[in-house]
């Protein structure tokens, strides 16, 4: 297919639901991506949070190859070994629990919402969620999402969600109705919402309230999970255990997966026929996820994420001291937000021209989530590209100010 034919096919045959950059990628390896012209990019936002091992990790590739030649799919009314192994492995790294397999983050959150309603036995169904949160695009997950821009035009959304301010325990307390409230659902670092980190005391208090009032604490680790913050799961930084955790994105190493992990003592709330997902936990994806979890341990990616995260923060703080365009650097491990005093779109585009892929969320927050196996050399390269882009932007702003001043004097 010629270049223009690819763009034409997208325009003519694919619904325009994504804002796209005109880049066609053909190959990936580690933190590198190559476009159709052979230009190499350093990917500091691999797969929108999917690429915690980078692109095409050898162990994931060989696990998939191995399983695909044996058994591509088997439905959930039979047993297969990769699903049994993956469930055991997830529970080993988390807490005594049972899991439900599905295919995406939204689907895992839908499962958590349905689970909570069943747990509330029809009387209690309300879930408290937070401003600026993001839980997915399906109707239930969308209703839980605390951003109006994603909900506009899709009403009526399912009822039963109460939105309160993030990190504000008094608002949470006020929102609880003992007859109706069944759960509190949150991301410990709001990713799409702008890399907003939950305060430790706030989370500890949420856990305490949930214990006292028999509410479920649902932690959405779709973006923060699988080593992203330097621990395998972000809740482990806070010294709490969720009642329900949802996972997706990086767990599949590039293949689609979603998981709801529910504390063992309540897990049988959902029985046969109450919830299902045809493709959930198929053999190929389970083998891929097992390879991801093993690679994280074997290749010591958690300590690397911690160390490289610290280094990246240090370098970004240096840039912050140099460029007043940067308002704040925040995050945890390798989940990093750079809040700007200006729109970030132009910075993302300029970085792209110079071969660095990053993201911008909430208009002004640059989001960097490099692979957990990122090296110091790769970070230095990314920092030098950001440095040139900020420097260019700074001189553009001062040129503009000068021009405006001389126009005034004229
Ligand atoms: C925290 C969080 N929850 C849920 C989702 C939805 O995941 P998916 O796109 O796999 O449905 C996302 C996606 O970005 C997310 O970041």
Neighbouring C-alpha atoms within 13 Å toward the C-beta of 125: 10
Give the rounded percent of residues in the chain with a pLDDT score beyond 70: 100
Residue 407 has pLDDT above 90, yes or no: no
What pLDDT, on a 0 to 100 scale, did the predictor assign at position 396?
Answer: 83
Environment class of residue 405 by beta-carbon count within 10 Å: exposed (0-12), middle (13-18) or buried (19+)? Answer: exposed
Closest ligand 1 atom number to CA of residue 248? 10
pLDDT tens digits, one per residue of 79-96: 999 999 999 999 999 999
pLDDT tens digits, one per residue of 95-126: 999 999 999 999 999 999 999 999 999 899 99
pLDDT tens digits, one per residue of 327-373: 999 999 999 999 999 999 999 999 999 999 999 999 999 999 999 99
Phi/psi zone of residue 73: left (φ > 0), alpha (ψ -120 to 50 degrees), beta?
beta
Tokens of 386: 């950001």
Q: Are 100 and 270 in contact (CB under 8 A)?
A: yes
What span, in angstroms and rounded, lies between the C-alpha atoms of 273 and 116? 16
Measuring from each residue's beta carbon to the nearest atom of ligand 1, which residues come in under 6 Å? 104-106, 109, 134-136, 187, 191-192, 220, 222-223, 248
**Per-residue CA distances from 177 to 131, 174, 210 (Å):** 19, 8, 12
- The Å distance, Cα 105 to ligand 1 centre, comes to 5
Q: Which helix (DSSP H) or strand (DSSP E) does residue 310 occupy?
A: helix 301-322
DSSP assignment, residue 49?
A: G
- The Å distance, Cα 135 to ligand 1 centre, comes to 5
What span, in angstroms and rounded, lies between the C-alpha atoms of 87 and 74? 16
- The Å distance, Cα 405 to ligand 1 centre, comes to 46
CA pseudo-torsion sign 322, 325, 328, 331? negative
Q: Which domains does the chain have, with CATH numbers?
A: 58-298 (3.40.640.10), 300-409 (3.90.1150.10)
Environment class of residue 205 by beta-carbon count within 10 Å: exposed (0-12), middle (13-18) or buried (19+)? Answer: middle
DSSP assignment, residue 155?
A: P
pLDDT tens digits, one per residue of 285-312: 999 999 999 999 999 999 999 999 999 9
- The Å distance, Cα 245 to ligand 1 centre, comes to 13
Q: Which residues contact 325 (CB under 8 A, 6 or more apart)?
A: 340, 341, 342, 390, 393, 394, 397
Q: Which residues contact 354 (CB under 8 A, 6 or more apart)?
A: 385, 388, 389
Q: Which helix (DSSP H) or strand (DSSP E) does residue 117 occupy?
A: helix 105-119
- CA-based nearest residue to 194, from 154, 146, 240: 146
- Model confidence at 402, pLDDT cuts 50, 70, 90, reads confident
Tell me the best of 223, 224, 367 to mutate to test the pocket of ligand 1, counting ligand atoms within 8 Å of each CB and taking the most: 223
Q: Cα–chain-centroid distance for residue 200? A: 20
The model's pTM:
0.97
- The Å distance, Cα 107 to ligand 1 centre, comes to 9
What pLDDT, on a 0 to 100 scale, did the predictor assign at position 397?
Answer: 77
DSSP 3-state assignment of 367?
strand
What does the longest C-alpha to C-alpha distance in the chain come to? 81
Tell me the best of 105, 277, 337 to mutate to test the pocket of ligand 1, counting ligand atoms within 8 Å of each CB and taking the most: 105
Q: Are 188 and 198 in contact (CB under 8 A)?
A: yes
- The Å distance, Cα 398 to ligand 1 centre, comes to 39
């Amino acid at each position: 297919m010629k270049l223009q034919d690819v763009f034409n096919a997208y325009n003519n045959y694919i619904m325009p639901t994504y804002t796209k950059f005109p880049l066609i990628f053909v190959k990936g390896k580690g933190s590198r991506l190559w476009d159709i012209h052979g230009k190499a990019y350093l990917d500091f936002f691999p797969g929108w949070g999917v690429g915690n091992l980078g692109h095409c990790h050898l162990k994931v590739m060989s696990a998939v190859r191995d399983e695909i030649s044996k058994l591509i799919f088997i439905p959930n009314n039979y047993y297969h070994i990769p699903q049994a192994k993956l469930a055991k492995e997830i529970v080993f790294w988390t807490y005594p629990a049972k899991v439900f397999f599905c295919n995406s983050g939204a689907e895992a959150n839908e499962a958590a919402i349905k689970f909570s309603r069943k747990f509330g036995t029809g009387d209690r169904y309300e879930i408290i969620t937070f401003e600026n949160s993001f839980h997915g695009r399906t109707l239930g997950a969308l209703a839980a999402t605390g951003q109006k821009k994603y909900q506009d035009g899709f009403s009526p959304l399912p009822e039963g969600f109460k939105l309160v301010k993030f990190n504000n325990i008094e608002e949470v307390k006020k929102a609880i109705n003992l007859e109706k409230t069944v759960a509190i659902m949150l991301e410990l670092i709001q990713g799409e919402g702008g890399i907003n980190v939950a305060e430790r005391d706030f989370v500890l208090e949420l856990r305490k309230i949930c214990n006292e009032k028999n509410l479920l604490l649902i932690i959405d680790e779709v973006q923060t999970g699988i080593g992203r913050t330097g621990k395998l799961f972000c809740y482990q930084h806070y010294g709490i255990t969720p009642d329900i955790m949802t996972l997706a994105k990086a767990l599949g190493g590039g293949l689609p997966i979603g998981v709801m992990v529910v504390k063992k003592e309540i897990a049988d709330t959902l029985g046969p026929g109450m919830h299902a997902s045809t493709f959930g936990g198929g053999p190929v994806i389970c083998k891929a996820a097992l390879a991801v979890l093993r690679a994280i341990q074997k290749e010591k990616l958690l300590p690397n994420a911690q160390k490289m995260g610290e280094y990246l923060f240090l370098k970004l703080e240096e840039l912050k001291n140099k460029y007043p365009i940067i308002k704040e650097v925040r995050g945890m491990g390798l989940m990093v937000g750079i809040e700007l005093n200006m729109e970030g779109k132009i910075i993302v585009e300029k970085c792209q021209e110079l071969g660095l892929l990053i993201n911008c969320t909430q208009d002004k927050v640059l989001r960097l989530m490099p692979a957990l196996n990122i090296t110091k050399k790769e970070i230095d390269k990314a920092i030098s590209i950001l440095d040139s882009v900020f420097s260019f932007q700074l001189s553009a702003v001062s040129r503009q100010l000068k021009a405006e001043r001389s126009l005034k004097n004229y």
